[in-house]
A and B are shown apart, each in its own frame.
Chain A
Amino acid sequence: LAKTTQPISMDSYEGQEVNITCSHNNIATNDYITWYQQFPSQGPRFIIQGYKTKVTNEVASLFIPADRKSSTLSLPRVSLSDTAVYYCLVNNAGNMLTFGGGTRLMVKP
């Protein structure tokens, strides 16, 4: 299983853009990169998924370089409600998701 490495915590202020980078050096050819968001006392929630280059949805953007050994989750203009833990995962066949410790994002007013 590909292992991911991401910062333990990040601080930001309302209205700023936040970029969280994740390393996955052992990613396999058929693996996808998925980011989940988890608020306290709730289950994780899907944010975005990609295979290569750039993916954008109404919540975030995901940037994946050509070698796919890392990825960056970009949250535009964060608000206080974006304070959460963000997990970077690599999906392999069989869908056995491996969660690391995640990145605790604190958005300050």
Chain B
Amino acid sequence: NAGVTQTPKFQVLKTGQSMTLQCAQDMNHEYMSWYRQDPGMGLRLIHYSVGAGITDQGEVPNGYNVSRSTTEDFPLRLLSAAPSQTSVYFCASSYSGTGGQETQYFGPGTRLLVL
């Protein structure tokens, strides 16, 4: 299994541009989520999905859109990039979103720089 994969690994955008960060998992996990991590800080939840066709907002959803058309993929879209969105983005997945005993598996991250 490849686990959780993310593309691209690094991206530079100009203010106002849009782009999609890709995330895929091959573990048949129902639950997927996106986090951002600013330098020296912990991770903050952007959006999450408990299954195909179901998404919801996390702690910092503004400026981002998500969709979940398949179990495997959970892309994150930046609608109009801003310098404040410069960060490292991590995608994660787990078997289900219920209960407290779930372990999340994280991807390697995408480093985004917005000029």
Q: Does B97 contact A (CB under 8 A)?
A: yes
Q: What interface size band does chain A fall in?
A: 20 to 34
Q: What interface size band does chain B fall in?
A: 20 to 34
Q: Does B103 contact A (CB under 8 A)?
A: yes
Given contacts A42-B108, A100-B42, contact A93 B99 (CB under 8 A): yes
Q: Which B residue sits closest to A33, measured CB to CB? A: B100
Inter-subunit contact A91/B109 (CB<8 Å): no
**Chain B residues within 8 Å of A42, by CB:** 108-109
Alpha-carbon separation in the docked complex, A94 to B48 (Å): 10
Interface residues of A in 20-72 (CB under 8 A from B): 30-32, 34, 41-46, 49
Inter-subunit contact A44/B103 (CB<8 Å): no
**Chain B residues within 8 Å of A98, by CB:** 45, 59
Contact partner of B101 (CB less than 8 A), chosen from A91, A96, A100, is A91
Alpha-carbon separation in the docked complex, A94 to B97 (Å): 5
Q: Does B74 contact A (CB under 8 A)?
A: no
Inter-subunit contact B31/A95 (CB<8 Å): yes
